[in-house]
Each structure stands twice: as C-alpha cells, then as structure tokens.
Amino acid sequence: MKRKTLLLLNLSRALCIISMVFFPGLVAVAQQQSIVSGVVRSANDHQPLAGVTVRIKNTSLGATTNTNGRFTLNQTPHTGTLIFTAIGFTTLERQFRGGESLDISMQPSKAGLGEVVVIGYGTQKKVNLTGSVSQVDSKMLENRPVTNALAALQGTASGMVITRNSGQPGEEGYAIQVRGLSSVNGSEPLVLIDGVPKSSSFIAMLNPYDIESISVLKDAAASAIYGARAANGVILVTTKSGKTGKLQVAYNGMFGIQKYINLPGRIHSWKDAEMDNEGRENAGQSDAWSQQQIDWMKDPNTNYIVDPTNPSVYQYYYDFDQLSPVLNNYSTTQNHNLSLQGGTAKDNYFISLGYYDQHGIYKIGPDKTDRLNARLNYNRQLTDKISLNTRIDYSQENTLAPPYPTEGNGGLLYLILTRGSMGPPIYLPGSNNEKYAASSRGLPANTYSVLKEGGKDDSRADNFNAEVSLKAVNLIKGLTLRAIYAPGVAVTQENIIRRTIPYWNITGIADYGYENTSPNSLSKRRGVTLRNNIQLLGDYDFKVGTKQSFHALAGYSFEDYRFDYTLATAKGLSSNDLFSLNLGDPTLATNSDGIQTWALLSYFGRLNYDYDERFLFEADLRYDGSSKLAPHNRWQAFPALSAGWRLSNERWFKNAFPIFDEFKIRGSWGQVGNSEGVIGNYDYIALINEGTVYPFNNQPNKSYYQNVLASPQKTWETIETSNVGVDMALLNNKFSISADYFIKHNKNMLAPLQVSSIIGITTSTYNIASMKSWGWETTLQWKDAIGHNFNYWINFNLSDNQNEIISYNGKNSITAGLNTIIEGKPYNSFYGYVAEGYFQSEEEVEKHAFYSNNDGPGDLKYKDVNGDGKINGGLGRTDDHGDLVYLGNPAPRYTFGFDLGFNWKGIDFSAFLQGVGKRRIFPSPAFLMPFVSRWLHPMDFQTDYWTPENPNAKLPRLYYQGTQNTAASTHWVMNAAYLRLKNLQVGYTIPERITSRAAISKARIYFSGQDLWEISKLWLKIIDPENPNNSAYQYPYFRTFSVGLNLVF
C-alpha cells in the first residue's frame, strides 16, 4: 500500500509527538467537547490523593490527579464510566455525566494489595514477594538540603547503611552497604538505574527529584537474578515517568545556610609553648622555648623580633587566631528544580532540569561544588502491542577544591589547627600586607596564602546515559518481549593548577612553600568511561485453572566496560597566570595513561508460581561469564529458591485472627557472587610493573619488576544466603510490620595468603577463607488520621548484623590494632592492651611489668595479662599474642532510622532521625595526643592531660615524641553510638483557593534542616560519630538550615 500515505501518517505522528511534548495543553484545548472534573480523596484520612489515574472506560481518555487530588477530563463523552486506579487503593468505578464535578473517596486496598515493587528485570506485587525487598519512596528524597540522593537515603531502609567520610563539597565519599559485610574484600552493592547496571556513584549524580522509587534487594531470592554481582544486595533506582494528563509544571527551590560542626580550635601560642616545654622536660630534653619567648607570645606588643643569629629572618611570637581569616562562619547551598510532565493514553513525557550548589568552609579560595541535571523520559505506544521507552539523562558536576590536600597531616586544615598561632603571620610585618611571610622555624606555608594564591583543583564530570527499550506485549497471549540498549559515556576532566607563591623574609624571597623548585605546575587528567549494556528479556504469564498462575522470565545480557585515562603534567611554566601544557619546561613534562576493561555475559531465568494467592514459589538461575577470570574458570551459575505462605488468605486464619489484614511468612535460599571491587580486571595474568627510574648517565633509565603474584585459579566468592521473614498488616492496614532474619555464608572468600615476607613479593588473594554474617531487620509503620484534617505517620526501622571469619587457610597473625582476618573473630578485630589507668608514681612504674624504658608517672599502665613480667604482643600468633586482648571490632550495630510526621490542614511536619545503637571505635592515639610527633601541636581538646595535680585526666602526660602511650589499648577505645536528627521539615501549603487565582495548583513553603542535632557518647567531640575512621584533620560536616518553595502549575 501507498507508501506516501504511510509516510504522511508517520510524519503527522511525529509532529503530534513533538507538539504534545511542547504544547500538550494546546492539543487538549483545541478539541474540547465536554468536561468532567473532581477531587479524589483517601477514605481513611480524607486527604487529597495525588497521582490517581482516572480513565474513561473503553476509551483511551484519561488523566491523573494533581497534588491537590484534582483532575479534569476534557473532550469527554456526555456520559460514561470513570475508572479510578491508584497504588495502595482499591480500584473504583463510577458513572458520570458531562459537566459534573465529582468528590471521590477511595478505599485503601487490603495491605496495599495493589502496591507494586520494582524487582530485578520487572515488578512484583508486594504481597506476592517471597524475597526480602525494601522500597524507599521518593518522598524521603525530596526537599532535603543534601548534597545528593545518597545522602538523603541514609537511614531510610532497614539493612541499608550509608556512610560518608568527609564534608568537603564534592568529595564526601559516600558508600552504601546492604546487610553489613559479606566479605572482607568489598561489600559494595550492585546499583542499577532503570534496569541498567551502574555504580553507586551514579546515584550521587542523579537529581534526587527525578527518582520515583528505590528498591533494595537484600536476600538471595531477590538478588540472585543478578548472579555474580549480587552478594551485597542490589539497589534498583527507578526514575519518574510522565503521568497521563495535561502539562504539569513543577518548581522546587531551596536556599540554605550551613555551619560546620565538630572542628577543633587552637590554643594560645604561649600555652602551646608551655606544653611543648613540659613534653620535652618529661622526655628528659631541654626546653624549646625560654620564659622570655613565652612572655613575648603573651605580650600583644611584641609579635616578632629580628632573629639575633640571622638578621635576615624574623622570629614570630604572635598569639592570633588562625582560623577566622580562613574559615567561613556560614556558607550557602541552593537547589532549583524544574520539571514538566504530562501525557496521553498513547505517550507520556517527563522532562526535568535541576541545579544544585554548595560552598565549603573556606572563606577564600576554591571550595565549592555544583551539579546540573537534565532528563527526558519519554514513552510512546508505537502500535497497540509495541511500545518505545526512552530515557536520556545528562549530568554535570563541577568541583573546585584547593590544589593541595585539605585533610591529613600537612594538609591545609592541619596548618591552621596545629601549627596555627605558633607559626608566622600571613604577611611579613611591615610589608603593607603585600608579601607573605616565610616561616622561620621550618614550618610550612600558611593556609591563607595557599587558598588565596595557590591555584585550584578544578574537576568536572560529565555523564551521559541513554536507554532505549522496545517492548512488545501479548504477541502471544501472556508473552512480553523486551529489547534494551543502554549506552553510557562519562567524561572526567581534572586540572590541578599550582601557582608559585613567594614567601618572604626580611631580605627577600625565602622559599616557595609547598612547591619549592618547580615553582608552578599543571596536571591535566582526562578520563573517558564507556559502558554498553544490551538486554533481551522475555516474560510469559499463564494460568492453569483458576488457582494456579505462573510467570516465567528468561533473559540475556551483555555488558562491556572501558575506562581510559590520560595524565599529563607540566612544571616550571613560563607564566604564573596562564596555565597550559605548552608553557611548561619541556624537560620536566611527564605523561601517562591507563586503561581498564571488563565484560560480562549472562543468561538468566526466573519462574514464579502462585497457588490461589496462598502459596508462592519462586526459582531463579543466572549463569555469568566474566572477563576478569582465567578462561578455564570463567563461567559460574547462581541459583536461588524461595517460598511464601499468605496465611491471611487461609479461611481458618481469617477466622482465628481477624485483626490481620495481611500475614505472610516467607523463606529463601540462594547462592550469589561477590565481585564488585573484589577481583581485579587482570588478576590472572602476571604483570610487570614499572619501577622508579634510576639516573645512570643522567638519563631516566627505566626499571621493571613483578609486584604481585598472578592468581589464575581465582574465582568469585560465592555467598550462600538464607532468609526467613514475615510481613504483617493489621488494624485496617494502619499498622504494618515486616521482619527478616538472615544468614550469609561466604564459602570461598578471597583472602591474601599470608606468608612470611621471605617470599619477597606481594601475594595475591586466593579463595581460601570463609566468613559468616548474620543479622535481622525490622520495619514498623503506623499511619492513621484523627478527624478529617489531621493525619500522621510513624515509621521505624532497625537492623543488626554481625560477622565472623569461620576459616582462614592462610596463616593468622595478631598484631596490636586492627587485624583484618583472624579465624574465629569478626572482620577487623581490634587487639590491644588493657589500660589500667595511669602510673601515679615512680614506685608504681618500678613494680609494674616492663613495657618501655620511657615509662613514667602519667603514662598508661598496661595489664600484664599473661603475667610474664613484660608487656608485649608475644609472638603475634593466635596461640601467643602476649598481653594483647580482643577489644571488639568497629562495625556498627543496631542501625536505625526513625521518621514521623503529620499533616494538619495546610501544615505539614516531618522529622527524620537516624543513628547507630552500638559501635566501638579505635581512633589513632598518635592523633589524640600532642607532640607524639614533633609537628603535632595541641588543639583545644588536648589540654586535659595528666599532671600530678590532675591524676585522672583524659590524656596521659605530655611526652615529646614518646610512643609509650600510643599503643593500641582500652584507653583509646570509644563508643561511637549516636542519634542524629538528619532532617526536620515544616511546611505550609497555601490553600488552593488563593493560589488558583495565580494559576498555581499547589504552593508550599517550608523550612528544611539537615543534620541539625545529635547526641553521642564520644568524649572526644572532634570526631564525628558518622565518620569515626580516625583520620586526622578531617574536613568537617555541616548543619544546614534551609527554606524552600514547591510550586505546581
């Protein structure tokens, strides 16, 4: 037929799509016939229901209720039947007449009968789940002044723990863990966004407002369909699709101010000097500072003198505040988001644009991040059986940071926190604030000048993902086929610019601070990551009789990854303002590159069987082949089985326990693999590494060596998981409880085969260990209304898990501090001495078992556990570890999240608390005491130390460069349990009767605060309980106070 007609047809369709995307309202308005409108409410609490699908029976006409529960249908027939459907509510049919205005009340469905949960390669009704799945609603992510969606997810799902290790904008280092550790090698969950495997960093790159829901697949039954990568759980993120109805424009904006928390302060310079002297005297050394020098520090009129032995330098005796010239009291953050959505029965679209930025603690210099997100999700019914689903998203993240590390020893925070007032001032005295002062005592340059003039670390990540899928339904009745192609491109660009900063003494430039002889430099790093994913999926539903229904899924997937980076560095550039590789000294130029690749080919299937909505069975199988393993053991199968029994659908149960609306018990067993970050891409190949060059003939002569033994026998860690759970809903679905208990057994965990260093090479890891972890989770939800205007909810989740190394065929050795793998103990077992207070006298030292020549009054007294008269770690073996005893492990126990809220008329309130019930931490003692190293000066929390007059101090006596108190011991073990108010929101929705005058269907203003308050038992307040990993001079976290506006047009 008529090729022309077809073409025209296609053209007009295309035009139609375009017009509907951009002017959907116009299309609707142009064809107006009759109108039906109304409002839909929940029968439970009479609150308006948003997102209810309203459809005219036997037509393709429909709409969706807006945030006020309102809907309007144009061009309707004059009479007909409306069908109302909503997740969690019983579908309702209602006759209508044209022009009528309806007030609909929908009954909540029994136990959210209709509630659908996203699972691997599909969806499942919640009531029919036999695996363990938590679902996080988009509401938990919205209107929160947080850096990214990961931050907002913290504490929202039982069994999912989210941590961060820095407060530095753009460098927070968020990490997710589901159900604790299942391996010592890495327990990162697999993350998929709209069904496409990505990594957790992609969640951080998403616009939180684009997320529709997040499913956490926790047990093997739920996750085994993802095979070799599923051992640590799977997180499925689904983005929003357009809702049927006319164009809806929404704007969400937020502006916040932030204040850093838990940053220590400085002490007076003279106090520092006195403590320095005391520490040296205790160590039998001469004083570092004379009384006159200390007096100068106290005297505001004597801030510096010319060094009597060297007339070209000043000696500085200031006592000034180093923090305030550098640190902001407050910094800002903002967030703007605009979305457009709508659709017809044939297609729908969701378009969004988001912008986020945050400024850091530094008053001057580069310290900020921002992110831009754009997304287009477009679905189109191509024919009545075939539909196209496209998702395109782009994100851009820009982070500006100082070009030198902020954290750690020698970092920018270190310079102000511990050298601060002892060091030189910012400017050379008498230089009219134009010349930076050089340090007179070998101290590094000051932070102010580095921030102001030192350059920047400018990084940018561009991320482009597309997903095109074609879906054919009912080709044969019950058969659905899907073909998905999802490419992704990520480009990272980082330019590190380090400018020359001259530091002056009296006679001239003394040095150039951090970068001494190559005064300036430029490093450019460019990385491209290419991902490809192809999936072919077939779903088949059929029934046998009326009671038995089956669902079968078969699939194929291929994934390919390639990361390629180039790094080029120029030094000694001819300009200190224009930074280009072209301007560098050619003899100092360096370049390098790196490529990482892997591929994964998989076949998988699933069979569900449902008998009379009472007995549920599921079987899963995945067969994975990976490029990371040697060809002879490349393929492995991962099976899972699960079953559920919906007791509440048994007549006898209903009669006996009518209080329950839903009661299901379920159990599962399965084997899944652990591979994310566990096995290197080429571990099975022996590689030759490039060593340091050696300067024969003043040439950089290359040198090569083998660094690590190859391990061709290596295979996936296989983790066997068993899970039992119960789901209950009662009191008319007001109250629901879900609980799970699980055991994970990592049967062939990879562990370094520890051998004596006489082997002379780093050994690889082998499948030689096994580990068990177990725990439980529970979620309680209460939702009710009082009267018509007040409804409220309380959700609580609590989880716990523990682990133990069952066997380790490698050799066990025990050392003071953290021991990663010891048979019969948890991962990261901490061993140390038992501290029994301080020695109070010389006699006590003499009488006590010997530890160190330096022991004296005011030092920790360690218990002689084995009574041999010496304090030591014995042979470091499990059968002889001297006086070291097991002190616990730093894994958090009893993690919980707690949110509650209410709506009353236009006012809404919600509070979200999150915390850890029990945690032992072991911060590094060398960081807790001043003068352990020469360069560590005291901070304000370190003045409570032992003296004869202060025998019960928090810290031992001062001892210059002494290590007798830095051994791992009970003295330094702390309790990092905490409760933190993560978010508090108070909002007011302006009544629609007012806003509708401005054509606004919803206007809400709110206050939202993040990390507003906490309690913890840490006696050392500089350590944040969320990040107790004891690194020194940590970039602090923020409290955020924000106000925002939600508008829907």
Partner 1 sequence: MSSKILKRFSMKYTDKWIFRILLLFNGLILLSACSKQLDKVPETALSDAAFWKTSNDLRDACNNLYTFLPTITDNNDADWSDDGYGTAPSSISDGSRLAPVTSSDWANNYTLIRRCNTILEKSSQIKDDSEQVNRYCGESRFFRAWAYFELVKRFGDVPLILRTFDVDDSLTNAFRTDRETVLDSAYVDLDFAINHLPKASALPQAEYGRITKGAALALKARIGLFEGTWDKFRQLKNVETHLNIAVNASEQIINSGEYTLFIYTPDPDSSYFYLFQNAGDGPENKENMLVRLYGENVNNSIASHNYVRSIWGGSVTPTRSLMDAYGYTDGLPEGKSPYEIPQTSTLSEFQHRDPRMGMTVFSKKDWFINSFYTPTFENTVTGYKSRKYFVSADWTINKSYVDNIIIRYAEVLLIYAEAKYELNDQISDEDLNRSINTIRSRVNMPPLTNAFIIANGLNIRNEIRRERRIELALEGEHRYWDLMRWKTAEIELPQSVLGAKYFPDEQTGITNPQLTADGFVIAQDKSKRNFDPDKDYLWPLPTQDLGLDPNLTQNPKW
The DSSP result for 37-96, as a single string, is EEEEEETTT--B-SS-EEEETTSS-EEE--TTSEEEE-S--SEEEEEEE-TTB--EEEEE
Interaction of residue 389 with partner 1, rule CB under 8 A: no
Interaction of residue 5 with partner 1, rule CB under 8 A: no
Structure tokens at 355: 């912008």
State which of positions 957-1016 bind partner 1 (CB under 8 A).
960-961
Give, for 781, the enclosing helix (H) or strand (E).
Answer: strand 765-786
Q: In the complex with partner 1, which residue's Cβ is closer, 37 or 390? A: 390
686 vs 684: CA distance, rounded Å: 7
The DSSP result for 195-224, as a single string, is TEEE-HHHHHHS-GGGEEEEEEE-SHHHHG
User: Is 291 strand, coil or helix?
Assistant: helix
Interaction of residue 766 with partner 1, rule CB under 8 A: yes
Q: Tell the smallest beta-carbon distance from residue 310 to partner 1 (Å).
A: 7
Q: What is the dihedral of CA 133, 138, 144, 150, to 10 degrees?
A: 40
Q: Tell the smallest beta-carbon distance from residue 752 to partner 1 (Å).
A: 10
Structure tokens at 833: 């001495």
Q: Tell the smallest beta-carbon distance from residue 740 to partner 1 (Å).
A: 36
User: Using CB under 8 A, which of 110, 634, 863, 918 touches partner 1?
Assistant: 634
Interaction of residue 854 with partner 1, rule CB under 8 A: yes
Q: Tell the smallest beta-carbon distance from residue 10 to partner 1 (Å).
A: 7
User: Using CB under 8 A, which of 815, 841, 947, 1029 touches partner 1?
Assistant: 815
User: Is 105 strand, coil or helix?
Assistant: strand
Q: Tell the smallest beta-carbon distance from residue 950 to partner 1 (Å).
A: 23
Select the span of 342-350, 690-698, 773-781, 1012-1020 touching partner 1 (CB under 8 A).
690-698
User: Using CB under 8 A, which of 15, 30, 306, 693 touches partner 1?
Assistant: 693
User: Using CB under 8 A, which of 763, 820, 840, 950 touches partner 1?
Assistant: 763
Q: In the complex with partner 1, which residue's Cβ is closer, 545 or 695? A: 695
User: Using CB under 8 A, which of 201, 381, 396, 681 touches partner 1?
Assistant: 681
Interaction of residue 758 with partner 1, rule CB under 8 A: yes
Selection from 408, 374, 406 nearest residue 391 by Cα? 374
Select the span of 190-198, 424-432, 691-699, 796-804 touching partner 1 (CB under 8 A).
691-699
Interaction of residue 677 with partner 1, rule CB under 8 A: no
Q: Are 957 and 857 in contact (CB under 8 A)?
A: yes
State which of positions 548-607 bind partner 1 (CB under 8 A).
556, 558, 560, 587-588, 593-595, 597-601
884 vs 880: CA distance, rounded Å: 9
User: Using CB under 8 A, which of 31, 301, 432, 698 touches partner 1?
Assistant: 698
- As beta bridge partners, residue 640 has 620, 670
Task: List alpha helices for 941-1044, DSSP H.
Answer: 992-995
Q: Are 754 and 810 in contact (CB under 8 A)?
A: yes
Q: In the complex with partner 1, which residue's Cβ is closer, 137 or 690? A: 690
Q: In the complex with partner 1, which residue's Cβ is closer, 602 or 1040? A: 602
87 vs 91: CA distance, rounded Å: 9
526 vs 300: CA distance, rounded Å: 51
238 vs 191: CA distance, rounded Å: 11
Q: Tell the smallest beta-carbon distance from residue 683 to partner 1 (Å).
A: 11
Select the span of 185-193, 334-342, 492-500, 682-690 touching partner 1 (CB under 8 A).
682-690
Residues 6+ apart with CB under 8 A from 228: 600, 622, 624, 626, 636, 638, 672, 673, 675, 716
Select the span of 309-317, 334-342, 448-456, 638-646 touching partner 1 (CB under 8 A).
309-317
960 vs 285: CA distance, rounded Å: 8
642 vs 803: CA distance, rounded Å: 24
Interaction of residue 887 with partner 1, rule CB under 8 A: no
Residue 719: CB atoms within 10 Å: 26
* Contacts with partner 1, 173-202, as mask; x by CB under 8 A: ------------------------------
Q: In the complex with partner 1, which residue's Cβ is closer, 166 or 533? A: 533
State which of positions 709-728 bind partner 1 (CB under 8 A).
709-710
User: Using CB under 8 A, which of 429, 712, 876, 906 touches partner 1?
Assistant: 876
Q: In the complex with partner 1, which residue's Cβ is closer, 870 or 1017? A: 870
Select the span of 242-250, 719-727, 875-883, 969-977 touching partner 1 (CB under 8 A).
875-883
User: Is 898 strand, coil or helix?
Assistant: strand
Q: Are 342 and 248 in contact (CB under 8 A)?
A: yes
Give, for 152, the enclosing helix (H) or strand (E).
Answer: helix 149-153
Q: Tell the smallest beta-carbon distance from residue 470 to partner 1 (Å).
A: 6
User: Using CB under 8 A, which of 651, 757, 847, 952 touches partner 1?
Assistant: 757
178 vs 397: CA distance, rounded Å: 27
Q: Tell the smallest beta-carbon distance from residue 864 to partner 1 (Å).
A: 15
Q: Tell the smallest beta-carbon distance from residue 645 to partner 1 (Å).
A: 38
Interaction of residue 767 with partner 1, rule CB under 8 A: no
State which of positions 529-548 bind partner 1 (CB under 8 A).
532, 534, 536
* Contacts with partner 1, 117-156, as mask; x by CB under 8 A: ----------------------------------------
Select the span of 81-89, 509-517, 610-618, 715-723 touching partner 1 (CB under 8 A).
509-517
Q: What is the dihedral of CA 397, 403, 404, 407, to 10 degrees?
A: -30
User: Using CB under 8 A, which of 91, 163, 332, 754 touches partner 1?
Assistant: 754
760 vs 709: CA distance, rounded Å: 10
814 vs 808: CA distance, rounded Å: 13
Q: In the complex with partner 1, which residue's Cβ is closer, 91 or 302? A: 302
Q: Tell the smallest beta-carbon distance from residue 947 to partner 1 (Å).
A: 18
Q: Tell the smallest beta-carbon distance from residue 445 to partner 1 (Å).
A: 13
Phi, psi angles (nearest 5°) of residue 1015: -125, 145
Interaction of residue 807 with partner 1, rule CB under 8 A: no
State which of positions 10-49 bind partner 1 (CB under 8 A).
10
Residues 6+ apart with CB under 8 A from 183: 231, 232, 674, 678, 717, 719, 746, 749, 750, 771
Q: In the complex with partner 1, which residue's Cβ is closer, 6 or 29? A: 6
Q: What is the dihedral of CA 146, 893, 161, 255, to 10 degrees?
A: -10
Q: Tell the smallest beta-carbon distance from residue 852 to partner 1 (Å).
A: 6
Q: Are 69 and 86 in contact (CB under 8 A)?
A: no
Q: How many CA atoms lie within 13 A of 691 on its CB side?
A: 9
Q: In the complex with partner 1, which residue's Cβ is closer, 26 or 685? A: 685
